[in-house]
A and B are shown apart, each in its own frame.
Chain A
């Protein structure tokens, strides 16, 4: 079996020039209108890599000095290498059209304290296009999952010289996810709290493969190898890892415990001093203080590495905290 299939004009037998992703074409010799069926591929564009290596390195060094990273990172950090890659992204445009009907409730309280609930009917028309983008391969440790910038010069001039990562995910899965995303956004944009009727149509208008240039910058800090990525079009840092600083961790928990504790103490004092002697004020204050403490604790516990971007560890953070809570409860049970 042959893996190459020649494409000829069925009318005159001439050669056909057909870009990937197109379905209709006109023969350049006899002018016949032709329709292509079968696996037509996906329209592909590539953005031009505008940032130079020096700009990517400068962007990284500028990024080092912001955001509670190690204070000596600028001095001790050493750029090992910087190279550009092309990352594949699925980009879809999805249209949602239809109606959402329902009502919202408004509460009216008169002077006697009686509460009357008024139902206000709502009927909203939805007609909106949504753009969805997703990386078309496994993101690995790059920390990039979606395309933020859709503006730039498109060119395939650099395509052969820059390593190009291949698409390894399904385009239909990307379209399905885009439709779900567009539907959820359309429902949210209608602002109907209680829905009684809904008729929405979702159309996948366009699917494009975008190859986006990204600089991968690897740098070392005290024998450890870190990495960040710089946008090849805008020149900004897209994602990266950097070492944290114990001083900032200690300051965070100190001021977090102080702030949270004082908020809790203040609410207890206020609850005791007020005429109504409302216990709920103390409860709310304790909760707010605990939340402040928790946020400070989280940075105190995990602030030794600063992460920017769409890494999967961020999503796993809540799971880790639940596991820690279970460990603490087991320890307490053991002590009992």
Chain B
């Protein structure tokens, strides 16, 4: 909760993020929060614990495009709790509201191709905000350097810290990194060990061709065709089960 002064009775008036109109609890005056000329500091709280973030990494690593058993074979080289800064500008461009997200630092997150403010419960970032021991990535680009170049007129400008878990892991003597958004649970990665689709395609295609051949064979000799089909069903199933479990 941020606080401002009532212009009528000078009492402190708390207001929440995103609220435009607020009522003074003492003199009942209506107050409009004008954000056009002030820069706000927001932060999203951590909603994912460290053990949960490791579990999310393992779920991501068990995906069908990752190397087989990456979730079991990857060795964690470090789990770091961080707050990453981005600038969020709301501008009035020819009467149309635009939301622009700009980078606040020279460091970038792996896999985060488009800068964004993740979904979360924005809190005012002040001395009372509990960072839970997270490392703050300092913004090294001033907000004022953007204000002169952005189009339109200002409506709101804010520095938003969003929480991330940075996980480094080693697989086949190579180091990789992954970033987990600790507010909504999304996983970002730039590069990861991949799994080939050749075995899957081979099972499907060979089975398809085998059944075409046996279907044609069944016209001349039904018993032989049907028998071969039974054998092929068992063979394709066994091969598919092996591939889906092991490859």
Contact = CB atoms under 8 A, between A and B. Distances in A.
Given A1-B38, A224-B62, A254-B237, A6 B6 contact: yes
Contacts of B37: 1, 3
Contacts of B98: 170, 172-173
A166 B88 contact: no
Contacts of A324: 197
B240 A249 contact: yes
Contacts, number: 248
Interface of A is mostly: mixed
Contact of B119 (A15, A87, A172): A87
B27 interface: yes
Nearest to B239: A250
Given A3-B4, A300-B240, A293 B204 contact: yes
Nearest to A13: B8
Interface residues of A, number: 83
A265 B216 contact: yes
Given A16-B30, A262-B215, A4 B233 contact: no
A264 interface: yes
Nearest to B31: A4
A171 interface: yes
Contacts of A296: 204
A138 B59 contact: no
A183 B65 CA distance: 38
Contacts of A172: 96-98
Given A171-B97, A266-B215, A304-B64, A15 B29 contact: yes
Given A3-B35, A39-B20, A170-B98, A254 B119 contact: no
A253 B203 contact: yes
10 contacts: A3-B34, A5-B32, A6-B30, A16-B29, A141-B184, A166-B121, A254-B240, A256-B204, A260-B208, A296-B204
Given A17-B28, A265-B212, 11 more contacts: A2-B4, A139-B119, A167-B18, A173-B97, A223-B71, A224-B62, A253-B204, A254-B233, A258-B211, A262-B211, A303-B64
